[in-house]
Amino acid sequence: MDSIRVAGICGSLRPGSYTRMALKIALDAASEAGAGETRLIDLREYDLPFATGEEVTGKAAASVLRLRADVKAADGLILATPEYHNSFSGVLKNALDLMGFNEIEGKMIGLIGVAGGSLGAFDALNELRNIGRALHAWVIPEQASIPEAWKYFSEQGAISNAALEQRLHEVGKQVARFARVHKCAGARDFLELWEKAPKNPGGADR
């Protein structure tokens, strides 16, 4: 079986963020599910410029190229974000805007949203799901929305709510499992044929 790499992008820059804690739990579960390598991509470690739509040059180019390479090397990806104003974080949006099909297309993606309020982070997760679709990624059905995160995480990163912990585990495990299936030669060949199949000529009339 091919070795599977799962990377998680933390969409929070706050030291001791609950988003990072939740992502770490999901990555540990991906490792338990058979991922040979997991990596937490901390955007604080990249000196990323604002995405302007133009090619990045100068000192910032090295950081952008490093981020792109780190994401491209992964077979599965977990996007974790705090919910700000019913959306995902600006730092995560900027990082995604600095990448594209070359890094994300065809990857298995899992989603984690962390909120301070009782309604959770579903709006942020729905927007990330749309972005995954736009970049031709495979966003898994399982996702984890953590409401009132301040109630459940310890300073050491442990979570006290068993149901929420299970959701995080499922995100990590399913990303690893489906990434392995997708990387399997037979599955990859099938998916390539399916993606190249001609459209149903009668579909437009129905």
Number of domains in the chain: 1
- Per-residue pLDDT, 182: 81
- Per-residue pLDDT, 1: 44
Say which residues have a Cβ less than 8 Å from residue 27's Cβ, sequence separation at least 6: 6, 8, 38, 39, 40, 78, 172
- Tell me which H or E stretch contains 59: helix 59-72
Residues of the chain with pLDDT under 70: 1-2, 185-191, 193-194, 199-206
What residue numbers bound the domain in which 184 lies? 5-205
Q: Following DSSP, what letter does each residue of 104-162 receive, concatenated? A: HTT-EEEEEEE-SSTT-SHHHHHHHHHHHHHTT-EEEEEEEEESSGGGTB-TTS-B--H
- Per-residue pLDDT, 3: 87
The residue written with tokens 């579960």 in the block is 29
- Per-residue pLDDT, 195: 72
What's the whole-number average pLDDT of the chain? 91
Q: For residue 160, what is the domain's CATH number?
A: 3.40.50.360
Q: What size, in residues, is the chain?
A: 206
- Per-residue pLDDT, 86: 93
The tokens for 76 are: 């599965």
- Per-residue pLDDT, 131: 97
195 DSSP 8-state letter? H
